[in-house]
A and B are shown apart, each in its own frame.
Chain A
Amino acid sequence: MSAVVADALERSFGEVRALDGLSFEVAAGELYGLVGPDGAGKTTSLRILAGVMKPDAGAAYVLGRDPMSTDEVVRSSIGYMPQQYSLYGDLSVEENLSFFSKMFCLDRATYRERRERLLEITRLGRFTDRRADALSGGMYKKLALACSLLSRPQVLILDEPTNGVDPVSRRELWALLFELVEEGMAVIVSTAYMDEAERCHRVGLIHDGRLHVEGDPTALLADFREGHGDDVTFEDLFLSVVREAA
């Protein structure tokens, strides 16, 4: 069974059709990249899968359940890191972590143990007293990631997690994602960086709310090179998909 299923999702905002029958699936232990230009529908689809937005039509399933459910099991099984800054900027690293742990009702011992581990892997241990607003872009994203991992989710949904993050922090963040995937987590990540897309197990190229190409990035690139020569890059593949769609 797929950990995450997007089944013919549709969603409009006024006249704008953000999602137009988008379907894809992600398995446990898989790192799935959602790639597309701005306005392709990446954020909307991730919001629906994270259960913070309702689709107009189609259905989303996370571990076979409706992600909108307020059931503790469902909510705790989804880790979500929105694209925009969404922590409490006037609260410290420690206060943010502690607050979200209480939203998941973690007991004190569990929280302490997970906090130690998360601070270690995000290397935020030295900054626990710093307010979230005063963190650098990379550190902020790591804190957001730590908050979304507090409930030990089986599915992790990250909306452009490396946007505005320096190269070193980006590398660290991706290393962390691979670790999580190896532990069996299903990770969906949206990105506008082609090098990141290439590192995913599978990618879905979306444009105008529809999935145009999907598959193993290495295999996709190999196929594309057969028709376009060995010099073309994944970015060329992406641009060609966007051009064809337009």
Chain B
Amino acid sequence: MRRFLIRLAALSEKETLHMLRDPQVVYLALGLPLVLVLLFGYAVSFDVEDVEIAVVDRDHSAESRGFIQRLDESDAFDIVVALETEAEVEPLLRRDEVKAALVIPRGFAKSLLRGEETRLQLMMDGADGATARIALAYAAAIGQAETEDRMADAIGGIEPPVQARVRTWFNPRMESAQFVVPGLVAVILAVLAVLLSALTVAREWERGSMEQLFATPVDRLSVVLGKMLPYVALGLLQFVLVLTLGAWLFDVPVRGNFVVLVVAVTLFLVCVLGQGLFISMVTKSQQVATQIGAVSAILPSLILSGFLFPIENMPPLLQMIARVVPARYLIVTMRAVLLQGRGFEQVWPSLLSLVAIGAVIVGVTTMKFERRLD
């Protein structure tokens, strides 16, 4: 055991020296997170704001003007033009001058006053399905609020006994960055860890140092773990960097236990570093390892992790594959801890999954690592 630790420490120290003396690694390790955070934080947005809308007010009543004002005051819509007839709407939609149009029919105010059912027509450009869906939900919510206010007025200032109101917790303004940054941590760590670790073993094969290493009594597990440890440290540094940027630029909160996050990130790093080392050991070439590493890191952590697309909506086969994607468990944990303020009691199943995946990857990598030349 003592010999194992001496060798492990020496291998880690050597790997750290390689890392520090290779400026590319430093640039990649600290530059890429910065670029990705800025790119994803600012460019990838699921927020719907200022949807250009045309209004056709055929009623010209105080009530219809009130409703239009309510619409205009919301952040979601931006009234760009008021039209006289419905026929004018279609050309505007076709020319992409507006994304939506609201038609208030004649007799709107009268129906309201009589307490009859009143219908408004909202036309939406469905080409951008995601935006359309969210904008529709906003419009429905505005309509709902209007209805509730009218009901309250009708029964004499008393609030209606049952009200349906949607309230989003933990990320009340539904800001994308708060949702994206935790997921981004997983993507950045996965990409860098797989790439850097895939390079390290392949480099030893290419440079011939593996042959000299095999001539010593070093055991396989020491080599695997010795290569991993410095990159775990680097990964934690990147994690802190991304989180700091997220908090500073996008007000991403850290509500829960920071220790849980560190544990989750460390376990996750063991999984993805193991993945990189495995690729490197099988391919033995830096170039091939980089390519396979990039694809195998980016695709699952971006698509099968629940970062961009909900896993529940995927076909059963993909859902099964997603069960072994470590990024999924890190993202769940990150969101739970950062946004919901959860702790070990709630996220332990995810941590346990990471332990299991990591143990399998490290085990397989160590077994696959043969102490001999082909």
Instruction: Give A contacts to B, CB under 8 Å.
Output: 47, 50-54, 68, 70-72, 75-76, 78-80, 82, 84-91, 95, 98-100, 102-105, 144, 147-148, 151
Inter-chain contacts of B3 with A (CB < 8 A): 72, 105
B215 touches A52 (CB 8 A): yes
* Subset of 30 A-B contacts with CB under 8 Å: A47-B211, A52-B214, A52-B373, A53-B373, A54-B372, A70-B217, A72-B3, A72-B217, A75-B216, A76-B217, A78-B215, A80-B212, A82-B208, A86-B208, A86-B209, A86-B210, A86-B211, A87-B212, A89-B207, A90-B22, A91-B14, A100-B216, A102-B7, A102-B9, A103-B10, A103-B213, A105-B7, A147-B212, A148-B215, A151-B216
Inter-chain contacts of B214 with A (CB < 8 A): 51-52
Which residue in A52, A99, A103 is a CB contact (below 8 Å) of B217?
Answer: A103
A140 to B17, CA, bound (A): 19
Residues of chain B at interface, number, CB under 8 A: 27
Most buried by B among A78, A79, A102: A102
Nearest Cβ distance between residue A102 and chain B, in whole angstroms? 4
Q: Taking CB as reference atom, which chain B residue is nearest A147?
A: B212
A50 touches B18 (CB 8 A): no
Inter-chain contacts of B373 with A (CB < 8 A): 47, 52-53
- Given the known interface contacts A86-B207, A90-B18, the answer about A75 and B7 at a Cβ–Cβ threshold of 8 Å is no
A80 to B22, CA, bound (A): 28
Inter-chain contacts of B175 with A (CB < 8 A): none
Inter-chain contacts of A100 with B (CB < 8 A): 212, 216
Which residue in B10, B21, B211 is a CB contact (below 8 Å) of A52?
Answer: B211
Inter-chain contacts of A68 with B (CB < 8 A): 372
- Given the known interface contacts A53-B372, A68-B372, the answer about A88 and B217 at a Cβ–Cβ threshold of 8 Å is no
B218 CB–A CB distance under 8 Å: yes
Nearest Cβ distance between residue A219 and chain B, in whole angstroms? 33
A79 to B212, CA, bound (A): 10
Within 8 A of A (CB), among B345-374: 371-373
A70 touches B212 (CB 8 A): no
Inter-chain contacts of B6 with A (CB < 8 A): 102, 105
Q: Taking CB as reference atom, which chain B residue is nearest A53?
A: B373
B208 touches A85 (CB 8 A): yes
B207 touches A75 (CB 8 A): no
B219 CB–A CB distance under 8 Å: yes
Within 8 A of A (CB), among B234-283: none
- Given the known interface contacts A51-B215, A102-B7, A103-B213, the answer about A90 and B21 at a Cβ–Cβ threshold of 8 Å is yes
Inter-chain contacts of B212 with A (CB < 8 A): 80, 82, 86-87, 100, 144, 147
Nearest Cβ distance between residue A45 and chain B, in whole angstroms? 13
Inter-chain contacts of A50 with B (CB < 8 A): 215
